[in-house]
Amino acid sequence: MQSGALIARHAEPQVRAALADTRIVAIVGPRQSGKTTLARRIAGGDGRQFVTLDDEQSRQFAQEDPRGFTSGLRRAVIDEIQRAPSLILELKRIVDEDPRPGQFLITGSVDLFAGSMSPDSLAGRVETVELLPFSQAEIAGTQPSSFIDRAFASDFAGLPAAGPTDDLVERVERGGFPEALTRAAPARRRSWLRNYARVVAEHDVRDIAQVAKRDELPRLIAHAAVAAGGLLNMSALGTRLGVDGKTVDRWLVLLEHMFLIRRVRAWHRSDLKRLVKAPKLQFLDSGLLAALQGTDAASIASDRQRLGPLLESFVYGELAKAVALSSDPTTVSHYRDKSGAEVDFVLDRSPGAVVGIEVKSRATAHPRDFTGLRRLKDAVGESFACGILLHNGDRVQQAAPGLYAMPVRMLWEA
């Protein structure tokens, strides 16, 4: 990807549709995911005024005099609004007095309406659109993938042989942050990503919380990178950092609100007793995870097992981006029973349909690879839509009724 190249964002139609019928639209996602670029593009096309609170003078004005700051601002973009959260109450007042749609497009590098970040939920007044780093389909310049819809329909008939993803390690290692992708040299990308994590942990966190021992957050991120893809043990993390489990929990919430990580909850049902309930820890960008782990193509070539957690993060990121675009609410969890059978990702969609996705980094599928998917199928019963084993093979195969093996690239090419 060349610097300055414009990549169309699949979320843009979603944002424009929301502006047509909703008073306030919020684009949220991690720093440097492309929110400002998208907001500027929309503002340019709609003739909207653009104000960013990354500008110190604008930020101080907004913090000290929210009403004066918004005086005369209509059909405007307010970028990085988390830097002056008191503005949210002022926007509420404005749109309550004048309920026309599309008045404000706001962006935030935190999950604005999660927890206590925002002074008001703006319920009924705001629609939130999540913008994560580039998906593989966006990088390729293709339409959004239909993979998830096909999975819930158990419809993979007629798909052409895709072939293995020859550049899979490169895709996983580079991730999707736009700025990182402008750096052709892998070492330069890793340097940018490591610095990104440090700045977010040491500086940006001040916008959303007062954190004692803030210098410990970079260490938490480093330990989280080691634990990525595994069951989360907050007590063990706390012991390594010299704090208690409750403190680790509060810090992880901050990292979640800044879209660095997610705790993927365990799938469960009340009538099933032998399921592990601990969440798994996932990074939203596999490139960031690789940089934090110090993993590159050479280290993967010498130890293929290092690819496993990164590929799982890569798949999770692609699923999260697809779910954010879906008009059908879909949740992502994981399955593990007390005998050790597991499924990396379980997708749930109303009215109770379930899809299981297992990830393997090798190019072939073995019968034992379907153990967890079969357990999930038995647990779910008739609500089981299908189970999918993603690997680096060369074609879509049906291993049994409702069970498929297919190349990882089907995530963005199906």
Q: What is the mean pLDDT of each run of 10 residues along the chain (414 residues)?
A: 72 97 98 97 94 95 96 93 94 96 96 82 94 97 95 85 79 97 96 95 78 77 94 91 89 93 91 85 98 95 92 98 95 94 96 95 91 95 96 89 94 92
Query: How many CA atoms lie within 13 Å of 293's alpha carbon, on the beta-carbon side?
Result: 26
Task: Give the pTM.
Answer: 0.94
* Residue whose structure tokens are 């919430």: 253
Given this model, what pLDDT does residue 157 score? 79
CATH 3.40.50.300 fits 12-130, yes or no: yes
Can you tell me the distance from the alpha carbon of 82 to that of 406, in angstroms, rounded to the nearest whole number? 42
Can you tell me the distance from the alpha carbon of 8 to that of 137, in angstroms, rounded to the nearest whole number? 10
Given this model, what pLDDT does residue 329 score? 94
**Which is nearest to 280 in space by CA: 234, 229, 330?**
229
Q: 156-192 as b/e, with b when 16 or more CB fall inside 10 Å? A: beeeeebeebeebbebbbbbbbbbbbebeebeebbeb
How many C-beta atoms surround the C-beta of residue 64 within 10 A? 11
Residue 232 contacts by C-beta under 8 Å, 6 or more apart in sequence? 263, 278, 279, 280, 281
Q: Where are the domains of the chain?
A: 12-130, 136-413
Given this model, what pLDDT does residue 227 score? 94
Can you tell me the distance from the alpha carbon of 84 to that of 98, in angstroms, rounded to the nearest whole number? 22
Given this model, what pLDDT does residue 213 score? 65
Can you tell me the distance from the alpha carbon of 340 to that of 248, in angstroms, rounded to the nearest whole number? 26
Task: Tell me if residue 61 falls in helix, strand or coil.
Answer: helix
Can you tell me the distance from the alpha carbon of 42 to that of 36, in angstroms, rounded to the nearest whole number? 10
Residues present in the chain in total: 414
CB contact at 8 A, 274 and 256: no
Residue 235 contacts by C-beta under 8 Å, 6 or more apart in sequence? 245
